[in-house]
Chain A
Amino acid sequence: MINNAWLIPGLPLIAFIIITFFTKRLRNISSYLSIGIMMGSFLLACGVLKEVIIRPGRYEFSLPWFETGSFQIEVGMLIDPLCAVMLVVVTLVSLMIQIYSRGYLETEKDVDFSRYYSFISLFTFSMLGLVVANNFVTIFVGWELVGLCSYLLIGYWHHKPSAAAAAKKAFIITRLADAGFLIGILCIAFYAGTFNFLAIERLIQEGQLTAGILSTVAILIFLGAMGKSAQFPFHTWLPDAMEGPSPVSALIHAATMVAAGVYLVARTYTIFDAGLDSLIVVGYVGGFTALFAASIGLCQNDIKRVLAYSTLSQLGYMMLALGVGGFTAGMFHLTTHAFFKALLFLAAGSVIHAMHSNDIWDAGGLGKKMPATATVFIIGSLAISGVPPFAGFWSKEEILVAAYASGHLPLFIMGEIGAFLTAFYMFRLCFVTFGGQLRKKDAHPHESPLVMIFPMGILAFLSIVAGLIDSPWMGHWFGKFVFFESQHLREAHGGHQIVAILSLSVAFLGILGAWLVYGRKVISLEFIKPMVIYKTVFNKSYFDEIYQAVIIKPFLGLTKFALGFDLKVVDGLVNGVASITAGCGAVIRHLQTGLVQTYMIMAMSGLIILLFIWMF
């Protein structure tokens, strides 16, 4: 089965090709083909996972692609526990979302519907290709392709100018970060002489690469991860990316693409580990993002924006985990987060589909009108807030334990505050959207069709049970399956009880707070609305405006200058040469009078001059 693992990315690629070139106008065939193939990929991924569980180890297959000088670039797969888990997660979530999309996008025209499925297939191919990659070149190819698919899917409704602008923004910001990533790849390839992950690992273990180089490379690679996973300061594209359809937000910007950054750091963890302080940087960037994004999410009124900031925050948690040496914790949180965040986005899509509006203050009382959606949304919220026995509790616990035991107290405190804010804003969403009375008078919300409820149900089930695979009752199975060993980095354990008590209390406090303010409306937080701090946080700390003024305006000024230079100087030079030629021509033209006498005058004068020269 592992030998055929190349089919896992290969099948969606075939689906993409068939849908793009053959079944453009046949919406049903396109969608069923895509869903069917994704089912196939999912089953294959389960098979691969099963084999890797039975016979743990790292399996590598590669084919040479091309050679240049002493460099050989290959295309290959590296199947190990980390990769196998990701394969299952990606295929499963993608499958659920493709099924859901049939219901969500039912009003689209045939060509657009097929276009959607072809892009999703292409995206899944790229993501899976990224996951199985065994060398930097292949992973970079997958990396850029997912960026492209993100652009295509965010701008799916391309006639909406806001969607087109958001797609452009996402692509440009991630591309900018990828420049750093590329430089990192080139550096490591230069010093290590190879692009292959395992070969580089071996070189590091033999001590052939100095820590200085490795830490530089690690930071550069982390730059790429920062862009893709929308860490501060590359975070501004993710909230805008909510212009895409909800299933797209669920798939790309919650479960998979943004997790690619975390996956990259995990894949190249040896480099980070051997670099001097690279992991601390990762940890603090993650921790800061977690807190920062949670604070903004607190005040947003658009249901998808809140979830977007929540995603930013949770990604920060994953980076925090990786930064403090919690390799297992970070990857575990990635897995559980994929499930409950996709679920939350799909449920939000269900609400938007019913209400035709993203604003939570338009909704209200949906708990009675849409019981299934409300149930799964609450399950997702409980999971993300870290309430046991839901999935999020186990993974968040592990992260906070790792942070506490590693001794980085500021990161631990950031994590705990973030957990409080997470619980608060998620339940704010719950109470405002599903509790109380319907606020928008002319809306007719109704429950979503089964094709949308079914995937949400599956994801809800996973949000409940997925955490148990790393629980004490299963002997911390996940931790034994996906882990990282090195001389100076061991997963820190210890302080379980105190962390558990603390995190349970903050989660409870968060839910209680949200209930008091938005559920029972006992406390009113209106007093903070005029305050400067509220205004700042509500406006995303003005980061978009800062970037606009500091980066975009000067850049546009530079482009204006370049345009002027190109038009006046370069074109001017070329046009000038042409006009000089034409001018000379206009003057010399007058020599040709057509009169023989004129020509004879010229001949005579020449003769006389020659005579003079000859005589003197």
Chain B
Amino acid sequence: MGLTNYLILGAVFFCIGIYGVLVRRNAVMILISIELMLNAANLNFVAFTKYVDPVKLTGHIFTIFVITIEAAEVVVGLAIILAGYRCLKSIKVEDINLMKW
């Protein structure tokens, strides 16, 4: 069925997202990668609604919730990055090392 294809696509997106979180130095890029991971999960939900239970639309509703929360989280994340930029003049995560030995 086509479900497997969508699930594989979702998994691929998720892995790309994880790769981005682990490797990127730019804080905004990390946020984007997190978005990507969440959206991959959304993709999975939507695929499940279409192929498993098209009547109740459970997955679609879940996706709406996720997008909302995503947005809120991005707002908070960007606010932190902005505040950090004012102090450190940089958005590279490696520069946040005041507490390091």
Interface residues of A (CB under 8 A from B): 589, 592-597, 600-601, 604
Contact = CB atoms under 8 A, between A and B. Distances in A.
B22 A597 contact: yes
A595 B18 contact: no
A594 B97 CA distance: 6
A595 B100 CA distance: 9
Given A595-B93, A595-B94, A600 B100 contact: no
Contacts of B18: 604
Interface string B88-101: 00000110110111
A600 B21 contact: yes
6 contacts: A592-B101, A593-B100, A594-B97, A596-B93, A601-B22, A604-B22
Contact of A600 (B22, B94, B101): B22
Contact of A594 (B21, B23, B30, B100): B100
A56 to B, nearest CB: 90
Contact of A589 (B21, B30, B93, B101): B101
Given A589-B101, A597-B23, A597-B30, 18 more contacts: A592-B100, A592-B101, A593-B100, A594-B96, A594-B97, A594-B99, A594-B100, A595-B93, A595-B94, A596-B93, A597-B21, A597-B22, A597-B93, A600-B21, A600-B22, A601-B22, A604-B18, A604-B22
A593 B100 CA distance: 7
Contacts of A604: 18, 22
Contacts of A592: 100-101
Contacts of B99: 594
A595 B96 CA distance: 8
Contacts of A589: 101
A461 to B, nearest CB: 90
A600 B94 CA distance: 14
A600 B18 CA distance: 10
A572 B55 CA distance: 78
A604 B18 CA distance: 9
A597 B33 CA distance: 13
Contacts of A597: 21-23, 30, 93
Interface string B62-101: 0000000000000000000000000000000110110111
Contacts of A594: 96-97, 99-100
Nearest to A596: B93
A595 B21 CA distance: 12
Nearest to A589: B101
A593 B96 CA distance: 11
A380 B22 CA distance: 106
A594 B100 CA distance: 6
Contacts of A593: 100
